[in-house]
Amino acid sequence: MDYIMKQLLKDYEIKRNQAILDAENRKRDLLSVNPKLSEIDNELAKLSIETTQAVLNSKDTLEHKKLLDDLKKKSNSLMKEKNKFIKELVKDSNYLKPHFECKTCKDTGYAQKDGNLEICACLKQKIFDSYYNKSNARKLEEREFFKIQFQSFFQRKKCGSLQIQAFSKRKYGNY
């Protein structure tokens, strides 16, 4: 993989991780000011473990089916309660979700298109910008280099002609 692509994907990873971390921090802050919300979250975590265990010990009995249904119902009602609390505390429903720069690829650089994973338009743009800037920078460097060469060439010339003038003045006097 070429250097620019590697660097861009690294930047994407950093950006994505930061958005997730920020969302976790917002959630932690919200839970700390609202103990009831924290309680619900703990209950949900417990229910999730119970559900996983129930699924792993799956039995084809009516009792087991009822247990799974009960867990699902409890989880749904707690989720509703949690969402109600969050809505009361924050007006924006996206507040606790990570705020990704690109909604299409969620800052991964890749997005599903017609069932295939493709480079997202945002990353394509960044690749283009990087190459464009790089080639522009190169052009600028070349221009600067040429300018310096050009100037020093003329300075040498000028210097040379001044020396010649001084030499001829010394040798032949000022007539």
**Least distance to Zn ion, CB of residue 9, Å:** 12
Terminal-residue alpha carbon distance, the chain: 72
Closer residue to Zn ion (CB): 12 or 71 = 12
The reply on whether position 37 binds Zn ion by CB under 5 A is: no
Return d(Cα 42, Cα 44) in angstroms, integer: 5
Closer residue to Zn ion (CB): 71 or 102 = 102
Rg over alpha carbons for the chain, rounded to the nearest Å, is 34
Q: Which tokens belong to 103?
A: 């909604």
The reply on whether position 120 binds Zn ion by CB under 5 A is: yes
Q: How many residues bind Zn ion (CB under 5 A)?
A: 5
Phi, psi of 169 (to 5 degrees): -65, -45
User: Which positions from 49 through 108 interact with Zn ion, judged by CB under 5 A?
Assistant: 102, 104-105
The reply on whether position 126 binds Zn ion by CB under 5 A is: no
Closer residue to Zn ion (CB): 86 or 120 = 120
Side chain identity at residue 64, one-letter code: H
